[in-house]
Chains A and B, each alone.
Chain A
Amino acid sequence: MRSSAPLPDGLVAVVKQDCPTCVLVAPVLVDLADRSSMVTITQDDPTFPAAADWVVHDADLSLSWHNDIVTVPTLLRVENGIPVDRTEGWDREAWETFTGAGGLGPGLPDWQPGCGSLSVDPNLTDELAVRFSGSAMTSRRVEIAALEDEWEAMYDRDWSDGLPVVPPTEARVLRMLEGTSRDAGDVVAIAPPDLVECTVEKIAINAVMAGCRPEYLPVVIAAVEAVCSDEFNMHGVLATTMDVGPILIVNGPIRNEIKMNSGGNVLGQGNRANATIGRAVQLVIRNIGGGKPGGVDRSAHGSPHKLGLAFAEDEEGSPWESFAQSRGFSAEQSTVTAWCGGGPTIMVDQLSRTPDSLVRHFAKSLLTSVAPRMALMETVLVIGPEHMSRFRDAGWDRARFVEELETHLVIQTDDIVRGVDGIDEGAAPEMAGNVISKFWPGGIHVVHAGGQTGLFSMAFGGWIPPPKGSVCTTKEITR
């Protein structure tokens, strides 16, 4: 929404003296002022093209900014204070058609391109954005004194997860907000644990601090929606003494548009989008929701991924429908899935050449997920490309893979009741004599990602399965 003082109705030219084309057409501006009562708005020199009452100085550039002037000269046709038509640069034929005046600029070349408007000068746009759009942001302004180190000031105010955060200046936050079409004041979610309104503006501030680029913001917003949903249960995810945190999996076209990593080192460092999107969500929970370690966050050990973990699926290299498609979304939709889990464990298998051998070996690892005595758990498996080739070659689809894997994930409860093998932990004695699954039905989520070389896959440990714990939650990403 842009507004400013209305422009005068009729023909209006916007120019600057520091533009050879504007200087070239100065006689035409005088001619049109005379013939068509045209008003000229000058961005720099108030006496250009003439010291006259038909020349208006746009000293603060508000007229140029609010009317989206990109090039000078620009001719506008204004009705009721609003431009309804425009032509840019000098083009005699276009100007004559536009103004209805013949014989313009005798002796001038037929055509000459214009120059950049001062209102889009890269050295000025941040300042202008703050001047004209900053008032739309309602967050408290915090002034950091000249002698204060602004990076240290972020720590001093307890706004950091322990790593440096980018100071969220008005200009940076405005640039971040350009990443979404949503209004700064839109309430995206009620953020746990304090259950406070979480606006697009507050999310953008934390996204700046995390190091996000504006184009990541829609992913962060959708992820915040997911983790703040009642089903995801972020309060419980914080409060638990286990090691869990939100793990974000991104699918669809936006993965490539923002250059997320789904290949080598996919769960590690080195990619800005992967590293900052998950961090932004954690900063939202910390700073807006109020969930901090030692407060509602009671984790005994935490986990490195609680700094934030987001990664993309390698959809192009997968023989299967994408993870998001398996959850009911289309290939054209961009989505983020939030799942609550602990740290990942590697599953090494360098000798299996058949899918059957490989799922049997996966199952041996997975039976120990979280603890060998735990049953009815949940997991996210990140299958590496070299392992995936076994299933591709054999023609196994996603459903077949899960089905075959589950047949090897059956536990005789006699093996896990309390006291067996001299271990006190285990299932209650009355559970003896039964058969139970390691994972609850629907509790195995499978994603394809990782480097091209390495016969490895990864498995994340879960938390309390739904409905009592956390429900894996997917949201569509919209700009």
Chain B
Amino acid sequence: MMTPGARPAPGPLALGAVLVVALVLPLLLKNFVVFQLTLVMIYSIAILGLNLLTGFNGQFSLGHSAFYAIGAYTAAILMDRWDVAYYWTLPVAGLACFGFGFLFGLPALRLEGIYLALATFALALATPQILKSSPLEPFTGGVQGIVILKPDPPPGLPLNADQWLYYFTLAVLLVLFAGARNLVRGRTGRAMLAIREHPVAARLMGINTALYKSLTFGVSALYTGIAGALGAIAVQFVAPDSFTFLLSVSLLVGLVVGGVGSIAGSVVGGLFILFVPNIAEQVSKGLAGAVYGLILLLVIYLMPSGAAGFARLLWSRVVRRTHAPTVTEGRIP
């Protein structure tokens, strides 16, 4: 008999199977679909960044489009102005975003919940304007943005550019996801969870909440920034209006759909935000937004803990049988 609360994990076997499929797919699919899957992975990394902040540390952000933009522009400027190789842009973008994130996190510490959401909302709205502004134009290319070239695969490999980018992104994703897993399971992760659950108690236990909160912001921004850099490389183009508040909203939607606090769920989130808007448009061109909204509502009603929560629920139903006593639900105040 299972002890209540114990849930056996689907295990490394399922993970291995997914990995094999992921490795084989680009060889079987059309270039455009490979490109789309690359974008899915990029969004997943961005969502994971947001997850680290919101899911594990309980801080809200509606402003991650800003960090994605910073990462994207960093990569574009390095590649276009200074001929830096594409793979070096990733760590630079990551570090730059870590810096910005940490600096934003410092004052943002003082804000809680909805106030933080509001401040980050303002950040997201301001970003395109700042990118278009005249003082920064020599760097950012103003409204027109910057165009960059897709990287070639290393000589000798029988892959085309899209396929190479896919594998490159996959490798980065695996490294980053493993990193996130270690972070969450280690001492840092436990500290982050403690801060989320009960900030005052955490502080009394000696956890330097201020430092951890800022660090978490920094790491979260780092992840999303790297995703931004990859995004710039994949799309071959950056412009201010690609990084509006709508991107932040998409990332948040991806987070909730995948499951807050679930690393694997970030991939489901990525799949959702790339493909579902297209599906909505196919259902009804004129009412695409309304269809999308309805799908979103269905998701939060039927799967309140996201895809990850739903999967867990299914798994526990399969594994154990429950006996419910006849009780009446009182209203819990």
**A associates with B:** no
Q: Which residues of A line the B interface, CB within 8 A?
A: none
